[in-house]
Amino acid sequence: MIGNNVGIAQNCFIQVRGNVFIGNDVIFGPNVRVFSENHNFSKKNIPIKLQGETRLDVIIEDDVWIGANATILGGVRIGKGCIIASGAVVNKNVEPYSIVGGIPAKKLKPRF
């Protein structure tokens, strides 16, 4: 589901194997990637490609800006009003009105 007034720049990739919810007034910079599925790999006697996948929802709440080349992984909820720095890899939930960056993404500071 994609909300109203969402801007998606060039070369973005949104994988919708699991559910992806994008709120209103969200901005995607160029080359943003959203993944909602991951491969299972716990059995060493079975090739990874044969072990199936796990689908995990991604929720991006209203008024979020995701910078260029950021990656959002499955199971993540990004709270309202957040800024995701360019190049960040978000693998955990982000509190509302936070600015995060890095690999893996960590809170840099509150937005206000």
As a whole number of angstroms, the distance between CA 48 and CA 31 comes to 27
As a whole number of angstroms, the distance between CA 11 and CA 37 comes to 19
Q: Which residues pair with 14 in a beta bridge?
A: 34
Among residues 30, 39, 43, 103, which one is catalytic? 39
Q: Which amino acid is at 67?
A: G
Helix (H, G, I), strand (E, B) or coil at 78: strand
- The per-residue DSSP string of 2-43 comes to B-SS-EE-TT-EE--SS-EEE-TT-EE-TT-EE--EEE----
Active-site residue, 39 included: yes
Residues known to be catalytic: 39
